[in-house]
Amino acid sequence: MNVSAKPATLRFYKERLLCVLVHIQQHLDEPLALDDLARLACLAPHHFHHVFTGMLGESLGSHVRRLRLERAACQLKLTKTPVVQVAFEAAYQTHEAFSRAFRKAFGLSPVQFRGRNGVSARIQTRSGVHYRRQKPPGSFRAAQLEDKTMKVTVKNLQPIRVAFMRHIGPYNQVGKIWDRFTMLLGKEGLLGSAPQFIGISLDDPAVTPPDKTRYDACVAVDAKFRASGEIGVQVIPGGDYAVLTHFGPYEKLGQSYARLLGQWLPRSGRRLRATPCLELYFNSPENTDPEDLVTDIHAPLETK
């Protein structure tokens, strides 16, 4: 691996995210759609949220909520705007919800905060990015490699022809689609010796409403297999992939994605390809305790 390329890629990813951070600060009153932000970062939406979470140390949603609260704190301090109005501008529907969030962040109610001097309007964060009225952020602290021993290998995959079934709904319910999918394949004798089970998550569960998140359950099949009914066929692109093994429950996969895409990738000298990440499953929750589940996360890389 070209060593000099590493700081260059870190700078490359930081610059992309900085564009997004500036845009967020200038548009805190707007809905801030994931697709728009991903486009600013020149990243595919399905990669963007992992890179963001990994590099900033907080999800896009938490980042925006935190900045809105910091701005609200500034408004309370510097203006006479009524609390209800401040709450509304911070995108809270009710005064109560705003007060609760505010107290959690600052340890004081909005009214107490307004009456108190010398209390910081900043909420602690690893990235060092805070709300500033006049000046958008000029840089941020990218998360360090939390785990220096994180073992990432780069593998070159051949294209994989797969049968797949799409799940649209909460990610914690993909088990249901696997149940049906493996039943339909299994009764046809298509789960032979060592079936390769692959999952593809196409959305960010923190941004996309749970009833709309998409996931493809895939099993490798040979050229003779034909799509029919609920089961489709697609070819997973070959090429280089960065591989990180995730040990443990599927609910925590997001943390491993963030470490791979937000911590390892920017220091790797490699760039992401726009095709989705893959999850290769090596055992089944059916006869394995969640702590013993093994999943290889594959992040597609551009050819060097």
Partner 1 sequence: MTAKLDLYKLHKAEYATPKEPVLVRAKPARYLAISGQGAPGGTRFTACIGALYGAAFTIKMTRKFAGKQDYAVCKLEGQWFFDGDPAPIPKDQWKWKLMIRTPDFVSPDDLKTAVGTLLKRGKSAEIREVTLETIDEGLCVQMLHVGPYDKEAETVALMQSFAQANGLKLSGPHHEIYLSDPRRVPPERLKTILRVPALKQDS
Q: Which positions touch partner 1 (CB under 8 A)?
A: 182-195, 245, 282-283, 286-287, 294
Rounded least distance, CB 288 to partner 1, Å: 9
Residue whose CB is less far from partner 1, 96 or 188? 188
Q: Return phi, psi of residue 55, to 5°.
A: -80, -35
Quote the tokens at residue 304: 């060097």
Rounded least distance, CB 184 to partner 1, Å: 7
Rounded least distance, CB 35 to partner 1, Å: 36
Residue whose CB is less far from partner 1, 22 or 184? 184
Residue whose CB is less far from partner 1, 178 or 257? 178
Residue whose CB is less far from partner 1, 90 or 174? 174
Helices 60-78 & 5-26, crossing angle to 10 degrees?
50
How does DSSP assign 39-62, residue by residue?
HHTTS-HHHHHHHHHHHHSS-HHH
Rounded least distance, CB 79 to partner 1, Å: 57
Instruction: State how far the Cα of 60 lies from the Cα of 40, in Å rounded to an integer.
Output: 14
**Cα–Cα separations (whole angstroms), residue 17 to 40, 64, 67, 81, 149:** 8, 14, 16, 32, 26
Rounded least distance, CB 41 to partner 1, Å: 34
Residue whose CB is less far from partner 1, 119 or 191? 191
Quote the tokens at residue 145: 């490699």
Rounded least distance, CB 286 to partner 1, Å: 5
Strand ranges of the sheet holding 278-281, from the earlier edge strand across to the other edge? 152-157, 239-247, 294-300, 278-281, 197-201, 214-220, 160-168, 232-236
Sign of dihedral through CA atoms 86, 87, 88, 89? positive
Residue whose CB is less far from partner 1, 36 or 296? 296
Quote the tokens at residue 294: 């093994």
Rounded least distance, CB 224 to partner 1, Å: 8
CA proximity to 86, closest of 97, 168, 105, 140 = 97
E strands, 79-146, where?
Answer: none
Residue whose CB is less far from partner 1, 173 or 282? 282
